[in-house]
Amino acid sequence: MTETTTTEPWLDSNQKPYIQIENVTKKFGDFTAIDNLSLDIYKNEFFSLLGPSGCGKTTLLRMLAGFERFTEGRVLVDGEDITEIPPHLRPINMMFQSYALFPHMTVEKNIAFGLKQDKMPENLINQRVEEMLELVELTDFAKRKPSQLSGGQSQRVALARSLAKQPKLLLLDEPLGALDKRLREQTQFELMDIQEKLEVTFVIVTHDQEEAMTVSSRIGVMDSGKLIQVATPTQIYEAPINREVADFIGDVNIFKGVYKGQDEKGTQLLSEDSKSIIYATQKVDVPVGNRIWFALRPEKLEITKKLPEVDCNILKGKIEDIGYGGSFSTYHVKLENGRQLTAIRANRERTAEHHLTWGDEVYLHWAPHSAVVLLS
């Protein structure tokens, strides 16, 4: 069990959180951007704040950096209350969405800027700048001005500059938002490597759920200034706590219905999408007759032409649309009641031997343990 305590400190009550956000509220006039939010982040975590635009994630990040004052609540970093400390004295650095590189300074001057403010001796500054340039593989670009860099290079200079002072906490505001998809995916892994190597606690703000899933140790899903769920990427994806989270992270098929009790196959749901009762293994503790929902990820829906040899969870439908994605295909299947479901199947064979095409009559089915039961 020692293994889990080091990689998942949030499960261990003996571990002391590194960043403690306590009952924080931020109001802009009448508008509440952050609503009584509390969150503990542990040392060396790569924590993502994920949410739609306007959910308050950037405001929270800017409050941690010190650019927005707190209406209520406080934040402790390594036990020290930083709520009233101005930004230039906080042991926190931020990587800006626009990178905010100083256009009148060379790459090395940009990286050295923070170190100079600390009155670090010249030779130590040079040494540190060199280390950082090596880390982001930009040694040859030291003398360039930001205007002479590509987007990816600027992004790495911004990262090097924000890491140069060895902050206790690094805040990253949509760090990969301006990069194209390929570079973004590559940079995600670089970010993870750097974070591991330097052992700095990262808090990243993103609206890209794939990015959050890839890089994070934990994700906090935000909406309307509140945290809806804080969990590991796997838990967020496989066990969302409500329809909102399920819907925001990835695609999902949701079955609405009435709880009919439990039997040996699991929780029974009577849904208008199915003529018979459908099942999920997960147990719930609500009175029979309550409204509940089943959430099912598209890749967990099996799509076949032949009637599958299982005793439950079979739906019949017709293929409306096929989206070919190379490694997988997305099928939109219309049920008999007109409801449309999404199923994803990996394209394991080069040529489509299964011959699924538009208008085909197909069966969808799933194993009861693949479905998540949601109460709200």
Partner 1 sequence: MNIKEIQIPTFLKRIFNGRNTVISIPYLWLLFLFLFPFIIVLKISFAQPVLAMPPYTDLLKWGESWWPTIQASFDSYLFLFSDSLYIHAYLSSLKIAIISTILTLIIGYSIAYSVAKAPTQWRAILLMLIILPFWTSFLIRVYAWIGILKTEGLLNLALTTIGIIDKPLIIMNTDLAVYIGIVYSYLPFMILPLYANLEKMDMSLLEAAADLGCRPLKTFWTVTIPLSLPGILAGCFLVFIPVMGEFVIPDLLGGSETLMIGKVLWGEFFYNRDWPVASAVAIILLAILVVPIMFYQKSQEKAIS
The site for partner 1 (CB under 8 A) is made up of 65-67, 86-89, 92-94, 96, 98, 100-104, 113-114, 117-118, 161-162, 165
Joined tokens for residue 101: 């590189």
Q: Containing H/E element for 370? A: none
Between 57 and 297, whose beta carbon lies closer to partner 1?
A: 57
Between 161 and 168, whose beta carbon lies closer to partner 1?
A: 161
Between 129 and 280, whose beta carbon lies closer to partner 1?
A: 129
Between 114 and 233, whose beta carbon lies closer to partner 1?
A: 114
| Nearest distance, CB of residue 114 and partner 1, angstroms | 3
Looking at the DSSP bridge assignments, the partners of residue 269 are: 259, 278
What amino acid is encoded at 276 in this protein? S
| C-alpha count within 13 angstroms, C-beta hemisphere, residue 222 | 32
| Nearest distance, CB of residue 132 and partner 1, angstroms | 13
> Which residue in the block uniquely carries the two structure tokens 């909102």?
244
Cβ burial, residue 259 (10 Å; 0-12/13-18/19+): buried
The residues near 119 (Cβ < 8 Å, ≥ 6 apart) are: none
For strand 169-173 and strand 92-95, is the pairing parallel, antiparallel, or unpaired? parallel
Between 102 and 358, whose beta carbon lies closer to partner 1?
A: 102
E-only strand ranges, 46-167: 46-50, 72-77, 80-81, 92-95
| Nearest distance, CB of residue 65 and partner 1, angstroms | 6
| Nearest distance, CB of residue 161 and partner 1, angstroms | 7
The residues near 309 (Cβ < 8 Å, ≥ 6 apart) are: none
| Nearest distance, CB of residue 99 and partner 1, angstroms | 9
Between 95 and 315, whose beta carbon lies closer to partner 1?
A: 95
Between 100 and 284, whose beta carbon lies closer to partner 1?
A: 100
| Nearest distance, CB of residue 62 and partner 1, angstroms | 8
Between 172 and 303, whose beta carbon lies closer to partner 1?
A: 172
Looking at the DSSP bridge assignments, the partners of residue 37 are: 24
E-only strand ranges, 18-131: 19-28, 31-41, 46-50, 72-77, 80-81, 92-95
| Nearest distance, CB of residue 112 and partner 1, angstroms | 10
312-349 burial: b if 16+ Cβ within 10 Å, else e: bbbbebebeeeeeeeeebbbbbebeeebebbbbbeeee
| Nearest distance, CB of residue 117 and partner 1, angstroms | 4
